[in-house]
């Protein structure tokens, strides 16, 4: 069972430092491919599939995971030829939490070595960027509106210092601006709101169960639409999120669909797995049980 690990040697944080201390030992058990710039993880993952590796491991956060996932998709029949592994070294690690992966590096690596496989749904979004139609796969979630605008506004040096709180700061900045109207259509429903979140799993932002009924294997995407996003919405959602881990049902419109279309009359940002992709319009779909993932 040939394993390739893709890692950013410039990554910061205690988990990344701990990982670097084990690089030599890890190199005796797997092939390491180190990134040097944005986009490298995607290229290296495609390269690993074409070189015949059975498992391609994303050693990092949700951004590294998304690049590796799309690298698998770039290789011919990549999702059939290789399995995805994950060493969660990032700030939030939502997908790792969703799968119940160990947070300790040694335990996570042991799970990868055991090679237990599960199949989950593989969502993707088709959108335009730089005038070209593009497809982006994602593992956990996507969003349009305030959520994506906050990612646009994240101050990365601040994120290195305060971690997930940097997203809170960026979200408050985004809340002070004008909000776009987004229409989402699918599953026999059409809803309009100022924030649209699309989930493959249950979790958002780490521990919040924004999509409590989501199932990684049901062939459907879960949609959560906030009709209004303002300071009153924040005040009403905050206590419920902190105490119950999800927003009040009265403030959202939730449904499921196999495919979705998002449109907006003004330029509206779009993100997937915390990575800014471009602007709406966008079309979402899901391929049932397409992604092979290593789990404990």
pLDDT digits (tens, 9 = 90+) for 139-174: 999 999 988 998 887 766 666 666 666 677 777 787
Q: What is the pLDDT of residues 74-83, one digit of tens each?
A: 999 999 999 9
Instruction: Report yes or no: 142 and 269 within 8 Å, Cβ to Cβ.
Output: no
Q: What is the pLDDT of residues 208-222, one digit of tens each?
A: 899 999 999 999 999
- pLDDT confidence of residue 159: 64
pTM for this structure? Answer: 0.90
Q: What is the pLDDT of residues 79-96, one digit of tens each?
A: 999 999 999 887 778 899
- pLDDT confidence of residue 172: 76
Q: Determine which one of 46, 67, 271, 275 is catalytic.
A: 275
- pLDDT confidence of residue 262: 98
275 is catalytic: yes
| Domains observed in the chain | 3-115 (3.40.50.10330), 123-291 (2.60.200.40)
The mean per-residue pLDDT over the stretch 120-135 comes to 91
């Amino acid at each position: 069972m040939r394993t390739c690990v893709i890692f950013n040697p410039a990554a910061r944080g205690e988990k990344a430092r701990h990982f670097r201390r084990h690089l030599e030992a890890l190199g005796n058990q797997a092939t390491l491919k180190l990134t040097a710039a944005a986009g490298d993880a995607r290229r290296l993952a495609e390269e690993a599939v074409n070189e015949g590796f059975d498992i391609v491991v994303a050693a990092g956060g949700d951004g590294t995971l998304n690049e590796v996932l799309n690298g698998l998709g770039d290789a011919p029949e990549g999702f059939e030829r290789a399995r995805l592994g994950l060493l969660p070294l990032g700030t939030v690690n939502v997908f790792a939490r969703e799968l119940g992966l160990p947070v300790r590096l040694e335990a996570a690596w042991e799970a990868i070595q055991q090679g237990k496989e599960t199949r989950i749904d593989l969502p993707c979004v088709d959108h335009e960027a730089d005038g070209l139609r593009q497809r982006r796969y994602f593992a956990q979630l996507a969003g349009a509106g305030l959520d994506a605008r906050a990612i646009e506004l994240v101050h990365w040096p601040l994120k290195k210092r305060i971690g997930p709180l940097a997203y809170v700061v960026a979200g408050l900045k985004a809340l002070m601006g004008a909000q776009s109207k987004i229409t989402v259509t699918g599953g026999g429903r059409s809803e309009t709101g100022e924030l649209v979140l699309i989930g493959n799993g249950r979790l958002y932002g780490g521990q919040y169960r924004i999509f409590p009924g989501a199932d990684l294997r049901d062939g459907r995407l879960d949609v959560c639409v906030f009709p209004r996003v303002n300071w009153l919405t924040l005040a009403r959602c905050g206590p419920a999120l902190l105490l119950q881990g999800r927003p009040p049902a009265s403030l959202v419109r939730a449904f499921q669909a196999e495919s979705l279309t998002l449109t907006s009359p003004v330029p509206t940002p779009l993100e997937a797995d915390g990575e800014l992709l471009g602007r709406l319009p966008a079309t979402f779909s899901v391929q049932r049980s397409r992604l092979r993932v290593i789990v404990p």
